[in-house]
């Protein structure tokens, strides 16, 4: 669309949206972000083993992926780790956030820095460190499923709970302490104050941070690579090993399914959040 | 006199080295509208929080309706607060906000509903049941906060600067509303405010606080007409203070000199004054009359001066008069426009005479006890 350019008309800041170059930047950004993913999805339907040129539409490789026992095991492993990681890092993250928000103690700033270190630490360092650590303490390697996943789960909690802590801490900063006092004053017990006043306030942060923890865990490769064994393959590692043999559309199909799970999780979280809000207010 | 619903005995509270409350003794009676006023940082909010149970006093006793509150947590005290920030629950509707205090204590839903409906009507919010706090105006939020506290039928309602977030017109309306609610429900109200106007216009009795101490407890009239010390005199309304020395005591009246003029001033004295001691002579701006210098011998308590400035205030004007004899003393004189017809031509730079009656001046201790 062409915009008439009147040099004399003063531009208000919000008017930039209507400038052609602004639209170009917006489009290019979206293309950069999502074109590769779009290509991945399209080529998962490609009827070609080598998957270089488009040869026609097929669901064949989804069927193949669905019948690939190794891939399905990897999915089950990934989801299990993801769920336990989410729970673990939520609990640890809430406690950390509460500690940092509510209490004053010596070396608080140092403590805060150390807690947040895993966010900036290179994953490869954490991976190697964990490998050495688990070897040194002699963590049993041949535990039955799902205990065999504990090593990876702990590793994932390690790097995802700081994200939870940061998000919840930020949300807590906006909490009006008088609300808590008001609830007490109106006769609520500490438990009732927590569930009726405190929890509703941090609920959005809980949903968002839980989702982030789940996603971080689901697609982590580096740290998982160093802590997984032959029996504990996750989806990213399985896809990597599939790619090493050949890039068939089956890899695309597996990736698309992973993407779908992530999107569904996000969608459900949003929906739960909305539903909760609309249900409040009915006595 | 009725039984005190709240009895405070020697309550002291320290924050670090600062004494927020020092040896507070206070009794508040059933059905009273009581106000606690003072400048910010005087300890009035701390006192309120001690009453509510959010602060534990270092020493002293607190009785509510005869019961010692020492080990009673905030959620089991028979009083409720209206917070300065209202502290409404943003994720609940008006209805749920007001019902909260009933629901958490296990009042049956049906009774809850009836009581909330009644309260909504009382605070004139009917029809807004299902609004969320962010959809309400400041005045409406205020009413919800009031209803939420009152629905619990507390023995005492604490109001922490409840009107400070409202604009002047709404504030006036809400003041009257508060008085109406208090009289109709018969609940003891304790209003904490820094606004002396608010306290004077609503309360039956007022406690003035400064630096963690109660300076005076009295009715609004007594507080204004006969403040017991310099701080109260200056905080409740404004006052002109001049250093003076007592020369003579004759029955009710005593004669003082100021060093500004040779004249003696007569003031209605207090009981425990002694000759030769320094005091402060206090005169409220509206008790002073202004005339032209010509008829100088006609009055008893008089001071000459030059008009330094005039502040127009609508209903009245404030004349700032520099006292001849000491350029540093500026007296504020308030003249209502209806009775200043003869002074209509007073303007800046003019020499005037200020005079007042013996009964309208106050004798105050110079030191702040």
The CATH number given to whatever domain includes residue A183 is 1.10.3720.10
Residues of A with CB under 8 A from a CB of B: 176, 178-179, 181-189, 192, 196-197, 200-201, 277, 280-281, 283
B83 in A contact zone (CB under 8 Å): yes
CA–CA separation, B66 and A87 (whole Å): 50
Which of B88, B96, B132 has the CB atom closest to A283's CB atom?
B96
Q: Does B207 score more than 90 pLDDT?
A: yes
Question: Which chain A residues contact residue B52 at CB under 8 A?
Answer: 181, 185
Whether residues A110 and A140 share a domain: the answer is yes
Of B204, B234, B264, at which residue does a domain stop? B234
pLDDT of residue B156 exceeding 70 = yes
Q: How far apart are CA B310 and CA B333, in angstroms?
A: 9
Residue B162, burial from CB neighbour count under 10 angstroms (0-12, 13-18, 19+): buried
Q: How far apart are CA A251 and CA A5, in angstroms?
A: 49
Cα separation, A99 vs A82, in Å, equals 25
Q: Do B75 and A197 touch (CB under 8 A)?
A: no
CB contact under 8 A, A182 and B130: no
For residue A202, the chain B residue with the least C-alpha distance is: B91
* Interface ipTM > 0.90: no
Rounded to 10°, the helix A60-67/A249-279 angle is: 80
B221 and B247: one domain? no
Residues of B in contact with A186 (CB under 8 A): 75, 80, 100-101, 104, 148-149, 152
What pLDDT, on the 0 to 100 scale, is given for residue A147? Answer: 82
B98 prior amide bond cis, ω within 30: no
Judged by CB atoms closer than 8 Å, whether chains meet at B93 and A281 is answered as: yes
Across the interface, whether the CB atoms of B100 and A283 are under 8 A apart is answered: no
Closest among A60, A129, A96, A107 to A213, alpha carbons compared: A96
CATH number, residue B217: 3.40.50.300
> CB of B89 within 8 Å of any CB in chain A?
yes
Are A185 and B76 within 8 A, CB to CB?
Answer: no
> A103 to chain B, minimum CA–CA distance in Å?
17
Q: Which residues, 6+ apart, have CB-to-CB distance to B312 below 8 Å? A: none
Among residues A98, A217, A235, the alpha carbon closest in space to that of A159 is found at A217
A168 inside domain = yes
| A&B contacts, CB < 8 Å | 82
The percent of residues above 70 in pLDDT, for chain A, comes to 90
Confidence (pLDDT) at A273: 66
Is B235 within 8 Å of B249 (Cβ atoms)? no
Contact B76 A187 (CB under 8 A): yes
Judge if A78 and A23 occupy the same domain. no
pTM above 0.90, yes or no: no
**pLDDT on residue A1:** 46
Domain membership of residue B148 as a residue range: 4-234
Q: Do B83 and A281 touch (CB under 8 A)?
A: no
Check whether residue A69 and residue A29 sit in a common domain: no
Partner-chain residue, chosen from A176, A192, A281, that has the shortest CB–CB distance to B104 = A192
Residues 129-168 in B contacting A (C-alpha not used; CB under 8 Å): 130, 132, 148-149, 152
Domain assignment present for residue A49? The answer is: no
Structural tokens at position B209: 């606080």
pLDDT digit string, tens, across residues A231-265: 888 989 988 888 888 778 888 898 898 888 888 87
Q: Residue A46 in 3-state DSSP?
A: strand
Backbone angles phi, psi at B170, to 5 degrees: -65, -35
- Contact yes or no for B91 and A201 at CB 8 A: yes
- A182·B54 Cβ contact <8 A: no
What mean pLDDT value characterizes chain B? Answer: 88
CA angle A215–A220–A225, rounded 5-degree value: 155
Whether A186 and A271 share a structural domain:
yes
Question: Which residue in chain B is spatially nearest to A177 when comparing CA positions?
Answer: B87
pLDDT digits (tens, 9 = 90+) for B29-49: 999 999 999 998 899 999 999
**Residue written as token pair 């208090």:** B182
Q: Dihedral, CA atoms, B132, B138, B139, B144, nearest 10 degrees?
A: 40
The residue in chain A having the minimum alpha-carbon distance to the alpha carbon of residue B94 is A281
Side-chain-facing half-sphere of B99: CA atoms under 13 Å: 22
A283 vs B85: CB contact, 8 Å cut-off?
A: no
* Residue B341, pLDDT score: 56
Residue B304's domain is classified under what CATH number?
A: 2.40.50.100
CB proximity B74 to A under 8 Å: yes
Of B234, B255, B289, which marks where a domain is finished?
B234
Which of B92, B96, B101 faces A187 most closely, judged by CB atoms? B101
In terms of domains, do A22 and A149 share one? no
Q: What is the dihedral of CA A222, A227, A232, A236, to 10 degrees?
A: 0
Both B187 and B76 in one domain: the answer is yes
**pLDDT at residue A283 tops 60:** no
d(CA B274, CA A14): 76
Please indicate, yes or no, whether residues B283 and B173 belong to a single structural domain of this protein.
no
Q: Are A239 and A68 in contact (CB under 8 A)?
A: no
Q: Residue A184 and residue B74: Cβ atoms within 8 Å?
A: yes
- Predicted local confidence at residue A281, as pLDDT: 40
Shortest distance between the Cα of A180 and any Cα of chain B, in A, equals: 8
Does any domain span residue A269?
yes
Do A27 and A144 belong together in one domain?
no
Q: Are B248 and B228 in a shared domain?
A: no
SS (H, E, C) chain B: CCCEEEEEEEEEEEECCEEEEEEEEEEEECCCEEEEECCCCCCHHHHHHHHHCCCCCCEEEEEECCEECCCCCHHHCCEEEECCCCCCCCCCCHHHHHHHHHHCCCCCHHHHHHHHHHHHHHCCCCCCCCCCHHHCCHHHHHHHHHHHHHCCCCCEEEEECCCCCCCHHHHHHHHHHHHHHHHHHCCEEEEEECCHHHHHHHCCEEEEEECCEEEEEECHHHHHHCCCCHHHHHHCCCCEEEEEEEEEEECCEEEEECCCCCCCEEEECCCCCCCCCEEEEEECHHHCEEEECCCHHHCCEEEEEEEEEEEECCCEEEEEEEECCCCCCEEEEEEEHHHCHHHCCCCCCCEEEEEECHHHEEEEECCCC
My answer on whether A132 and A218 are in the same domain is yes
The DSSP bridge partners found for residue B311 are B318
The strands making up B289-292's β-sheet, listed across from edge to edge, are B289-292, B351-356, B301-312, B316-323, B330-336
Looking at the fold, whether B218 and B258 belong to one and the same domain comes out as no
How close A195 comes to chain B (CA, Å)?
Answer: 11
B109 touches chain A (CB under 8 A): yes
A181 vs B contacts (CB less than 8 Å): 52, 54, 74, 81, 83, 87
Q: What's the pLDDT tens digit per position in B98-121?
A: 999 999 999 998 999 899 999 999
B355 forms bridges with which residues in the sheet? B289, B302
The contacts found for A195-203 with CB under 8 angstroms, 24 or more apart, are: A196/B89, A196/B100, A196/B104, A197/B89, A200/A280, A200/B89, A200/B91, A201/A171, A201/A174, A201/A175, A201/B90, A201/B91, A202/A94, A202/A168, A202/A171, A202/A172, A202/A175, A203/A273, A203/A276
Q: Count the domains in chain A.
A: 2
Structure tokens at B2: 């009725």
Residue B206 and residue B285 share a domain: no
A52 is a domain residue: no
Single out the residue in B234, B250, B277 at which a domain terminates.
Answer: B234
Co-location of B55 and B196 in the same domain: yes
Q: Do residues B157 and B256 share a domain? A: no
Quote the percentage of chain B above a pLDDT of 90: 44
Evaluate if residue A278 carries a pLDDT over 80.
no
Instruction: Please give the structure tokens belonging to residue B277.
Output: 């001691």
Q: B48 in contact with A at a CB cutoff of 8 Å?
A: no
**Nearest residue of A to residue B107, measured between CA atoms:** A187
pLDDT level of residue B209 (50, 70, 90 thresholds):
very high
Look at residue B190 in the predicted model and tell me its pLDDT: 95
Q: What is the pLDDT of residues B238-297, one digit of tens each?
A: 899 988 888 888 877 888 888 888 788 888 877 677 788 888 899 999 898 888 776 667
Instruction: Flag whether A7 is in a domain.
Output: no
What does the pLDDT read at residue B208? 95
Inform me whether the pLDDT recorded for A66 exceeds 80. Answer: yes
Percent of chain B with pLDDT over 70: 95
Give the one of B91, B132, B152 whose C-beta lies nearest to A187's C-beta.
B152
Judge whether A245 lies within some domain: yes
Range of the domain at A32: 13-43
Task: Give the highest mean pLDDT range of B125-134, B265-274, B337-346.
Answer: B125-134
Predicted confidence band at B344 (pLDDT cuts at 50, 70, 90)? low
Domain count, chain B: 2
A30 and A130 assigned to the same domain: no
Cβ count near A196 (within 10 Å): 18
Question: B253 and B223 in one domain?
Answer: no
Contact of B124 with chain A, judged by CB distance below 8 Å, is answered with no
Same domain, B52 and B101: yes
- For the record, the structure tokens of A101 come out as 């928000």
Closest Cα in chain A, distance from residue B128 (Å): 12
pLDDT tens per residue, range A76-121? 999 999 999 999 999 999 999 999 998 888 888 898 888 888 888 8
Considering the domain architecture, whether residues B268 and B229 belong to the same structural domain is answered as no
Between CA A161 and CA A233 the distance in angstroms is 22
**Cα distance from B139 to chain A (closest Cα, Å)?**
19
Q: Do B52 and A185 touch (CB under 8 A)?
A: yes
Whether A64 has a pLDDT exceeding 70, the answer reads: yes
Q: Are residues B166 and B269 located together in one domain of the fold?
A: no
- Asked if A186 lies within 8 A of B100 by C-beta distance, the reply is yes
Neighbours of B237 (CB within 10 A): 17
Residue A167 and residue A223 in one domain:
yes
pLDDT, tens digit, for every residue of B53-98? 999 999 999 999 999 998 899 999 999 999 998 999 998 999 999 9
Residue B259 CB-density burial (10 A; 0-12 exposed, 13-18 middle, 19+ buried) = exposed
- Rounded to a whole number of angstroms, the distance from the CA of A98 to the nearest CA of chain B is 20
Model confidence at B12: pLDDT above 50: yes
Q: Which residues contact B276 (CB under 8 A, 6 or more apart)?
A: B245, B246, B247
Between CA B95 and CA A215 the distance in angstroms is 39
């Amino acid at each position: 669309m062409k915009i008439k350019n009147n040099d004399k008309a003063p531009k208000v800041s919000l008017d930039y949206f209507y400038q052609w170059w602004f639209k170009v930047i917006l489009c290019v950004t979206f293309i950069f972000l999502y074109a590769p993913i779009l290509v991945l999805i399209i080529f998962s339907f490609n009827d070609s083993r080598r998957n270089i040129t488009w040869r026609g539409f097929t669901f064949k490789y989804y069927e193949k992926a669905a019948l690939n026992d190794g891939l399905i095991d990897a999915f089950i492993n990934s989801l299990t780790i993801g769920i336990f990681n989410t729970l673990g890092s939520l609990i640890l993250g809430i406690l950390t956030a509460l500690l940092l928000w509510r209490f004053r103690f010596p070396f608080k700033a140092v403590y805060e820095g150390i807690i947040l270190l895993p966010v900036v630490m290179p994953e490869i360092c954490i991976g190697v460190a964990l490998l050495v650590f688990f070897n040194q303490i002699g963590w049993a390697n041949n535990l039955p499923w799902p205990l065999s996943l504990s090593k990876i789960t702990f590793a994932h909690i390690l790097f995802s709970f700081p994200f939870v802590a940061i998000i919840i801490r930020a949300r807590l900063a906006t909490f009006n302490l008088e609300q808590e006092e008001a609830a007490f004053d109106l006769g609520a017990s500490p438990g009732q104050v927590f569930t009726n006043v405190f929890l509703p306030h941090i609920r959005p942060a809980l949903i968002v941070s839980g989702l982030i923890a789940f996603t971080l865990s689901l697609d982590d490769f580096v740290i998982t690579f160093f802590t997984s064994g032959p029996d504990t393959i996750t989806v990213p590692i399985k896809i990597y090993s599939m790619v090493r043999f050949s890039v068939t559309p089956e890899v695309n199909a597996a990736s698309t399914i992973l993407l779908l799970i992530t999107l569904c999780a996000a969608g459900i979280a949003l929906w739960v959040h909305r539903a909760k809000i609309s249900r409040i207010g009915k006595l | 006199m009725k039984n005190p619903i709240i009895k405070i005995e020697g309550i002291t509270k320290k924050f670090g080295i600062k004494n927020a409350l020092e040896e507070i003794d206070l009794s508040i009676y059933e059905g009273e509208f009581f106000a606690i006023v003072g400048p910010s940082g005087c300890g009035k909010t701390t006192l309120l929080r001690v009453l509510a149970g959010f602060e534990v006093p270092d020493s002293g006793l607190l009785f509510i309706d005869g019961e010692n509150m020492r080990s009673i947590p905030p959620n089991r005290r028979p009083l409720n607060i209206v917070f300065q920030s209202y502290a409404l629950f943003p994720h609940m509707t008006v209805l749920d906000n007001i019902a909260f205090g009933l629901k958490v204590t296990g009042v049956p839903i049906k009774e809850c509903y009836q009581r909330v409906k009644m309260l909504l009507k009382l605070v004139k919010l009917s029809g807004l049941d299902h609004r969320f706090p962010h959809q309400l105006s400041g005045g409406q939020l205020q009413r919800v906060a009031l209803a939420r506290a009152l629905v619990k039928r507390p023995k005492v309602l604490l109001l922490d600067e409840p009107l400070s977030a409202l604009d002047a017109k709404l504030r006036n309306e809400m003041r009257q509303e508060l008085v109406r609610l208090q009289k109709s429900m018969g609940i003891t109200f304790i209003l904490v405010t820094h606004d002396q106007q608010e306290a004077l216009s609503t309360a039956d009795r007022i406690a003035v606080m400064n630096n963690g101490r109660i300076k005076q407890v009295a009715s609004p009239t007594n507080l204004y007409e006969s403040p017991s010390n310099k701080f109260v005199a200056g905080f409740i309304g404004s006052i002109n203070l001049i250093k003076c020395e007592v020369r003579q005591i004759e029955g009710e009246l005593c004669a003082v000199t100021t060093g500004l003029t040779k004249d003696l001033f007569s003031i209605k004295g207090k009981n425990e004054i002694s000759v030769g001691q320094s005091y402060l002579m206090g005169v409220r701006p509206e008790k002073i009359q202004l005339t032209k210098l010509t008829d100088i011998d006609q009055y008893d308590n008089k001071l000459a001066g030059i008009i330094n400035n005039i502040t127009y205030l609508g209903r009245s004007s404030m004349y700032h008069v520099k006292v001849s004899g000491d350029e540093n003393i500026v007296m504020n004189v308030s003249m209502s426009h209806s009775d200043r017809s003869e002074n209509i031509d007073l303007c800046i730079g003019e020499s005037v005479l200020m005079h007042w009656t013996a009964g309208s001046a106050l004798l105050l201790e110079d030191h702040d006890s």
